[in-house]
Amino acid sequence: MSSKLSLSEAKKRIADLREDLRRHEYLYYVLNQPEIEDAEFDRRLRALQELEAWFPELITPDSPSQRVGGQPTSEFPSVRHPVPMLSLSNVYNEDEFREFDRRVSEGLGDQPFSYVCELKFDGVAVNLRFENGQFVQGTSRGDGQTGDDVTANLRTIRSLPLKLEADQPAKVVYVRGEVHMDRAGFAAMNREREEQGEPLFANPRNSTGGALKLLDPAAVARRPLKLTCYGLWFDGIAESGWKHSQSLKWLESAKLPIYTDWRLVDNIDAVFELWQEWEKLRPELPFDIDGVVIKVDDIGQQVRLGATAKSPRWATAYKFKAEAGKTRLLDITLQVGRTGNVTPVAELEPVQLAGTTVKRATLHNEDEIKRLDLHIGDFVTIEKGGDIIPKVIGVDLEMRPAGARFFKMPENCPVCDEQLTRPEGESAWRCVNNACPAQVQKNIEHFAFRGAMDIEGLGEKVVALLVDADLIRDYGDIYTLTLERLLPLERMAEKSAQNLLDGIEKSKEQPLERLIFALGIRHVGIGAARILAREFGSIDALILASVDDLIAIHDIGKTMAESIVDFFQNEKNRSIVEKLHSAGVRFEAEQSADRPAPLAGKIFVLTGTLEAFSREQAGDRIRALGGSVTSSVSKNTSFVVAGPGAGSKLKKAQELSVTVLDEAAFLKIITEIE
Ligand code: IVH
Pair 53, 602: CB distance under 8 Å: yes
- For residue 442, the enclosing domain spans 437-507
The rounded Cα 580 to chain-centroid distance in angstroms is 31
* 588 DSSP β-pair partners: 538
- Average pLDDT of the segment spanning 618-633: 73
**In a shared domain, residues 153 and 35:** no
Q: Give the contacts of 355 (CB within 8 A, at least 6 positions apart).
A: 283
- Tell me if 661 is assigned to some domain: yes
Q: What is the pLDDT of residues 394-410, one digit of tens each?
A: 998 988 888 889 999 99
- The last residue of one of the domains, among 533, 554, 583, is 583
Identify any residues that bridge with 118 across adjacent strands, giving them in sequence order. Answer: 293
- Residue 189 is given by DSSP the state H
CA separation for the pair 619, 629 (Å, rounded): 6
Q: What is the pLDDT at residue 555? A: 75
The 10 Å Cβ neighbour count of residue 624 is 13
Task: Among 538, 553, 583, identify where a domain stops.
Answer: 583
| Residue 579 sits in the same domain as residue 621 | no
CATH number at residue 468: 1.10.150.20
- Is the minimum distance from the CB of 293 to ligand 1 under 6 angstroms? yes
Is there a domain that residue 464 lies in?
yes
pLDDT at 202: 63
Residues 315 and 363 in one domain: no
231 lines ligand 1 (CB under 6 A): yes
Residues present in the chain in total:
674
| CATH number of 193's domain | 3.30.470.30
Least confident of 12-21, 148-157, 661-670: 661-670
- Please check whether residue 204 is in contact with residue 186, taking contact to mean a CB–CB distance below 8 angstroms: yes
**Alpha helices (runs of H) in 610-662, residue ranges in sequence order:** 615-624, 648-655
Q: Is 88 in the pocket of ligand 1 (CB under 6 A)?
A: yes
**What secondary structure letter does DSSP report for 16?**
H
**Does residue 413 form part of some domain?**
no
End-to-end Cα separation, the chain, in angstroms = 26
Contact between 605 and 666 under an 8 Å Cβ cutoff? The reply is no
Domain count, the chain: 6
Q: State in Å: Cα 125 to ligand 1 middle.
A: 7
Asked if residues 639 and 665 have their Cβ atoms less than 8 Å apart, the reply is no
Q: Is residue 11 part of a domain?
A: yes
pLDDT exceeds 60 at position 592 = no
> In this structure, what CATH number is given to the domain that contains residue 396?
2.40.50.140
For the segment 549-561, the average pLDDT, to the nearest whole number, is 85
Mean pLDDT calculated for residue range 286-307: 95
| Of 128, 256, 122, nearest in space to 181 by CA | 122
Q: How confident is the model over 194-211, as a mean pLDDT? A: 79
Q: Is 315 in the pocket of ligand 1 (CB under 6 A)?
A: yes
Q: Out of 285, 319, 353, pick the residue that ends a domain.
A: 319
pLDDT digits (tens, 9 = 90+) for 19-44: 999 999 999 999 989 999 888 999 99
Pairing of strands 78-80, 146-148: antiparallel
Pocket test for ligand 1, best of 85, 87, 88 (most atoms within 8 A of CB): 88
Average pLDDT of the residues in 125-129: 98
In a domain, 446, yes or no: yes
Can you say whether residue 99 is alpha, beta or left, with left for phi > 0 and alpha for psi between -120 and 50 degrees? alpha
Q: Are 523 and 563 in contact (CB under 8 A)?
A: yes
114 & 244 share domain:
yes
Compute, in angstroms, the gap from residue 149 CA to the centroid of ligand 1: 19
Q: Are 105 and 235 contained in the same domain? A: yes
Would the CB of 86 count as within 6 Å of ligand 1?
yes
pLDDT of residue 2: 44
Q: What is the mean pLDDT of residues 91-96?
A: 92
Residue nearest to atom 6 of ligand 1 (CA): 120
Burial (CB < 10 A; 0-12, 13-18, 19+), residue 242, is buried
Q: Whose CA is nearest to atom 17 of ligand 1?
A: 120
Backbone angles phi, psi at 31, to 5 degrees: -90, -15
| Alpha-carbon gap, residue 188 to 199, rounded angstroms | 14
Is the distance from the beta carbon of residue 310 to the nearest atom of ligand 1 less than 6 Å? no
Residue 97 Cβ inside 6 Å of ligand 1? The answer reads no
pLDDT (0 to 100) of residue 495: 92
595 within some domain: no
User: Same structural domain for residues 315 and 447?
Assistant: no
Residues 261, 120 share a domain: yes
Pairing of strands 405-406, 375-376: antiparallel
219 and 136 both lie in a single domain: yes
- What's the gap in Å between 89 CA and the centre of ligand 1? 10
DSSP 362-380: E--SHHHHHHHT-EET-EE
Note whether residue 80 is domain-resident: no
Task: Say how many Å lie between the CA of residue 87 and the centre of ligand 1.
Answer: 6
Cβ contact 559:547 at 8 Å: no
Q: Give the count of beta carbons closer than 10 Å to the beta carbon of residue 65.
A: 20
Return the DSSP state at 592.
Answer: S
**CATH number of the domain within which 18 lies:** 1.10.287.610
Same structural domain, 107 and 40: no
> Which of 117, 120, 288, 319 to probe ligand 1 with, by most ligand atoms within 8 A of CB?
120
In a domain, 550, yes or no: yes
Residue 379 to residue 561: CA distance in whole angstroms: 45
Give the least confident one: 164-168, 519-523, 525-529: 525-529
Q: In a mutational test of the pocket of ligand 1, which residue from 87, 116, 128, 256 has the highest number of ligand atoms less than 8 Å from its CB?
A: 87
* CB of 288 sitting under 6 A from ligand 1: no
Residues 221 and 242 in one domain: yes
> Three-state SS for 90?
strand
Pairing verdict, β 639-642 and 603-607: parallel
Residues 39 and 110 in one domain: no
pLDDT category at 386 given cuts 50, 70, 90 is very low
| Of 1 and 30, more confident | 30
Q: Enumerate the active-site residues.
A: 120
Q: Are residues 229 and 107 in the same domain?
A: yes
Cβ neighbours, 10 Å, residue 40: 12
631: CATH: 3.40.50.10190
Beta carbons within 8 Å of 276's beta carbon, 6+ residues apart = none
Question: Which tens digit of pLDDT belongs to each residue from 447-493?
Answer: 999 889 999 999 999 999 999 999 999 999 999 999 999 999 988 88
Res. 597: pLDDT tops 60: yes
